Amino acid sequence: MPAGASRELSESDYYRQLAENLSDLILATDLELNLTYVSPSAESVLGLPATTFQQVYEKNRRRGHAQEIAKLEVFMREELEQIKQGISADDFSALALRELILYQRDGSPLWLEVHTSPLRNDRGKVVGMLCICRDISVRKSAEESQALAAKVFENSLTGIYIVDARGKIVRVNRAFSRITGFQVEEAVGKSLELMGVKSFSKTISRSIRDSLKRKDYWEGEIRHRHKDGRVFPAWVAMTVLRDADGKVRNTISTFTDITEKKNSEVKIQRLAYFDPLTGLPNRTLFNDRLGQALNRAKRSQEEVGLLFLDLDRFKAINDSLGHALGDELLQQVALRLRDCVRSEDTVARMGGDEFTVILAGLADKQHAITAAAHVAEKIHVSLAKPFRIRDREVFTSASTGIAFFPSDGKNPKSLLQNADTAMYHAKSAGKDNYQFYTSAMNVRALERLEIENALHQAIHKSEFELYFQPIWRADDGEAVAVESLVRWRHPQEGMVLPSRFIEIAEESGLIKPLGAWVLRKSCEQLAAWQREGIPIERMSVNVSAKQFIEGYILQTLREAIDSSGVDASALELELTESALMQDHQYSVDVLTEMKQLGVRISIDDFGTGYSSLNYLKRFPIDTIKVDRSFIEGLPSAEDERIVQAIVALAHSLGITVVAEGIENQGQLEFVRSLGCEEVQGFLLGQPQAPKQVNFWQH
């Protein structure tokens, strides 16, 4: 009997009571492996009462199943066979300790450590087997979790490094080596200086240290160093592990290289806030900066100047030379604009050929006016120089409107709107200049908008009419031609002259349908007169610069000739010098095709543009019309010399000269004396409706 055991308790009773109070499952069998004892712990270990377990055990034995509970019999049988064969316990001890996994009713695994040994009587004879089953599920789960964690650690795409309390690296994973270039053996045992992180206490900010101290966690961006010396941004998450006493044992850091992410963020920001063509701030960033500039100006009682620029004739350049060259021109313009302002000023592209300049921090109104005028003048001078694009010289200029905060607008929207209004005033003043905003401009802008809206309706309702003014031979006074002139019969205002609506039609794009209507109706009227036998040698029709430059004049002309059946040789198209000189080669090509259709070509308002004899001689010109401004100036000696030079130039090139704007006899006699072939003006005949035209009977 063991020492201390009660004398009233037999030894067998003692061991039985001991077995029944152990948490392990204890089984005893006879030599046939029939169960002779099952400890009560069967219910706590297996979830089966002892009697039920015994029934299940016997049932599985009879069926010869070697699964789950029946495996207990298999383990005991294998050891019993070894004993029968006389093999010593040392030789088969490996069989004495096994692991068995069972699945409980809820499907959860139950791991058992099974120890089998012979059961002997008092004489040492083997009378059965003893089987002790211990629940090791917690241990196995911990082992599996540890193995899984190790697998995750090694195979994670995120870099992981673990440091001890001294800041020494104790473990890294494969991703760490891939991202930093340092192999495991190069990193373990080293300090964080290996990656350019000198120490947490020195290089990480106080807020990071406080977060690690309070929450045992921090997440943010830290710059790491690659083995090749390259520094890269890393997104790092740190977790502190402490021992039972609260002391830091390890810090686990996971990190990813966010270089591509940051590059993408920069690209996205540039796409969101910068114009991809010129690199200038776009409309979104412009609005933000203008709002900030106005807020600062309010606080400091300062002024802000806003310049709104629109390139002159850009659409014609873009359409004639192609969009690729147009884009290059915009890029060069952007560079020149940057050079005209201070580093703290903002130059933005609003879209198309529109640009803005924000001049902030101006002390007072006088300072603002001076600064804005200075910048506008620098821009004017800079853009006046030729642009070299793919071996071509291209010329452009800008019309600039200027408005000031707070006098011209107290918020970004109104300030921009008024600068835009001033820009349109600069356009109407002849382009290539700058204008300051005034309230009167807004009135004119509203009038202009009303006219534009009314023009849309007028084209739709056919509110236009044609009038015809005669052109006479200077020597005998015979009517040889007529000029077709458009009039707008406004439902409220009555007859409206072209000077009020042609420019608006050009800028709004309405000139295309209007110009096509004028050309078609003119051809129809000329064809009608030709059928009636009226002796008119030709009809002149004005062609807008927009019609000519934007490339649809040829199609419109062909359609008008074909639909009317007019004799094309009696049709003369009048174009301005400015339209022809914008792209000389384009003008030559289009004029040549016009001539092939049989029509005549006339240059209107000659002498007011930038004529070049070299280019003029290349154009297939039939007629030159001396601008009325020179005729009105007669008998000024200067105007006399100009008219005389124009007539001499035209005659030297074999071109007919028409003097327009003849309003008195003196003017008529002077141009006759110079040899002008034809004359036109109110002295000789005013524009008339088709039914009133009878000047051929003059």
For residue 581, the model assigns a pLDDT of 74
- Mean pLDDT of the region 33-48: 82
624-634 tens-digit pLDDT: 998 888 888 78
404-435 tens-digit pLDDT: 999 899 999 999 999 999 998 888 888 888 88
Q: Kindly tell me if the per-residue pLDDT of 106 is higher than 70.
A: no
- CATH class for the domain made up of 452-697: alpha beta
Name the most confidently modeled range: 200-214, 223-237, 241-255, 339-353.
339-353
DSSP 8-state secondary structure symbol assigned to residue 536 = -
- Mean pLDDT of the region 93-122: 76
- The answer as to CATH 3.30.450.20 being correct for domain 11-136 is yes
Burial of 43 (C-beta count, 10 Å sphere; 0-12/13-18/19+): middle
436-487 tens-digit pLDDT: 888 766 666 667 778 888 898 998 898 999 999 999 998 888 888 999 999 9
* Cis peptide bond N-terminal to 406, omega within 30: yes
Query: How far separated are the first and last CA of the chain, in Å rounded?
Result: 159
For a pLDDT cut of 70, what percent of the chain falls above it? 89
Domains 11-136 and 156-262 equal at CATH topology level: yes
pTM tops 0.85: no
**Among the ranges given (10-19, 66-75, 135-144, 632-641), the one the predictor scored with the smallest mean pLDDT:** 10-19
Q: How far apart are CA 608 and CA 613, in angstroms?
A: 14
Name the most confidently modeled range: 52-56, 144-148, 306-310.
306-310
Q: Kindly tell me if the per-residue pLDDT of 65 is higher than 80.
A: no
- Mean pLDDT of the region 268-280: 83
CATH architecture for residues 156-262: 2-Layer Sandwich (3.30)
327-384 tens-digit pLDDT: 999 999 999 999 999 988 999 999 899 999 999 989 888 888 888 888 998 999 999 9
For residue 203, the model assigns a pLDDT of 47
Confidence of residue 60 (pLDDT cuts 50, 70, 90): low
Confidence of residue 120 (pLDDT cuts 50, 70, 90): confident
- Mean pLDDT of the region 228-248: 87
What stretch of H or E contains 523?
helix 511-532
66-73, long-range: CB < 8 A, 24+ apart: 68/102, 68/103, 69/102, 71/100, 72/27, 72/100, 72/114, 72/131, 72/133, 73/33
For residue 506, the model assigns a pLDDT of 83
Instruction: For the beta carbon of residue 326, count every other beta carbon within 10 angstroms.
Output: 20
Domain ranges of the chain: 11-136, 156-262, 274-437, 452-697
For residue 22, the model assigns a pLDDT of 76
147-186 tens-digit pLDDT: 887 788 887 888 889 988 888 898 999 889 889 999 988 8
**Positive/negative CA dihedral, 236, 239, 240, 243:** negative
Q: What is the CATH number of domain 274-437?
A: 3.30.70.270
Confidence of residue 66 (pLDDT cuts 50, 70, 90): very low
Alpha helices in 385-438 (DSSP H): 412-428
For Cα atoms 466, 467, 473, give the angle at the middle one, nearest 5 degrees: 135
